[in-house]
Amino acid sequence: MTSPDAPRAILPAKPVTIALVGGFLGAGKTTAIGALAAELIQRGKRVAVLTNDQAAGLVDTVLAERLGVPVEEVSGGCFCCRFEDMLDAVVRILPSEPDILLCEPVGSCTDMAATVLNPLKLFYPDAFRLAPFTVLADPRRVRESVLGEEPEPFGPEVGYVFRKQLEEADAVMLSKLDTLDHAEADRLAARLAERYARPVMRCSAITDDGIEAWATYLLSGVPAGGHVLADIDYDTYATGEALLGWLNATVRVTSETGIDGARLLTGLLEAVRAACAADGAEIAHLKAALDAPGAFSRAHLTSTSGAPALTACDAHPREAQLILNARIGMEPERLRQVAEEALRRAAEAAGARADTEMLRSFSPGYPTPPYRISGATG
Ligand SMILES: Nc1nc2c(ncn2[C@@H]2O[C@H](COP(=O)(O)OP(=O)(O)O)[C@@H](O)[C@H]2O)c(=O)[nH]1
Ligand SMILES: [Mg+2]
């Protein structure tokens, strides 16, 4: 049954489980979704993925497509503000008859329980089963924004968004477990459990530690969306989001002698990182992918003080598409300059030509979700 007030009718052949995997920018959502998808597929489940961003041109979509499962992208705003676009994307993916749809909301968004989970529950009680809402927490950001043990690099309003994300989780997932020793993992998990009074799980999407237990939990029938934010201040939330500069670019890269993906991507991220360090701007997530038939490389950075994490292939294609996504505590216009200069320099150093096809830089606008249902929906 579809509720008469539902924005549109959705009637899958059988109910689809929807699992929202939230968390701040760079927390490890896309990587964890990849590991979770592999685990679910091994259990005989049909998996599909929904990616989401403020603008088109997503590294995450390319990464999700590489999982070999059906993928749809919702761009132009978060699931909450683009609820009907999210429904359209779900409808597009239904012909693949997924058992479970893994959805990654924009990492600067919160209030998902009220604006996405509750509307889904209310409007589509028979079309969807909601898996518990997992919110991933990067250990470093926990120390900064929950425990106050390190300075908050983006300022208090972004810290507010980070804490609201955890506050509405059905379960908190301490991510990047492989980067912690046992004592530190125990300490952070205990502090999170004490503060948020709900299950705290741990995982590493690199070693697969904790992924099996997470899959079992998601399929366990535990109720979802039980922690709607009662007192969210949208002005503070909007200020936090607007402090982040956003940039999505797609660039055609060519080289007669072949493109060295590792060199190009490392050079690109290093150049952006150096400019951020000079400006005192913190990187939330900077990611780039170089995509050509039979040749795929990618690199990420999740802080200005880190070194790029690179996964590169040996092939040197003559032509490739470069996708650059940056979410940085920097004015969008400055971010555009930094990215353009970094692209120019990295291409030159790699002996390649870079032609920008699309480049957008902006700050996310005030969140205006069309549906906000704060009461119990049964
Ligand atoms: N060490 C470690 N790094 C991880 C893990 N999961 C993700 N990462 C890295 O963290 C960065 C951001 O990951 P991503 O999944 O794109 O984060 P998202 O923005 O939350 O989707 C990438 O460099 C990943 O390789 C993990 O379990 N362990
Ligand atoms: Mg992601």
Distance CA 45, CA 118 (A): 25
pLDDT band at 5 (very low <50, low <70, confident <90, very high): confident
Distance CA 250, CA 210 (A): 35
139 lines ligand 1 (CB under 6 A): no
285 lines ligand 1 (CB under 6 A): yes
Q: Which amino acid is at 63?
A: L
* Residues of the chain by 3-state class (helix, strand, coil), percent to 5: 35, 25, 40
CB-based neighbours (< 5 A) of ligand 2, an ion = 29-30, 60
Q: What is the pLDDT of residue 2?
A: 72
Q: Return the CATH number of 245-362, one of 3.40.50, 3.30.70, 2.60.40, 1.10.150.
A: 3.30.70
Distance 341 CA to ligand 1 centre (A): 26
Distance 1 CA to ligand 2 centre (A): 33
26 lines ligand 1 (CB under 6 A): yes
Q: What is the pLDDT of residue 32?
A: 98
242 lines ligand 1 (CB under 6 A): no
Q: Structure pTM?
A: 0.96
Distance CA 284, CA 328 (A): 5
Q: What is the pLDDT of residue 369?
A: 97
Q: What is the pLDDT of residue 274?
A: 98
Q: Which tokens hold the place of 243?
A: 């402090």
Closest C-alpha residue for ligand 1 atom 9 = 28
145 lines ligand 1 (CB under 6 A): no
Distance CA 27, CA 371 (A): 27
* Greatest Cα-to-Cα distance within the chain, rounded to the nearest angstrom: 62
Q: Return the CATH number of 16-240, one of 3.40.50.1370, 3.30.750.24, 3.40.50.300, 1.20.58.1030.
A: 3.40.50.300
Domain boundaries, the chain: 16-240, 245-362
Residue 248 has pLDDT above 90, yes or no: yes
pLDDT tens for 271-304 read 999 999 999 999 999 999 999 999 999 999 999 9
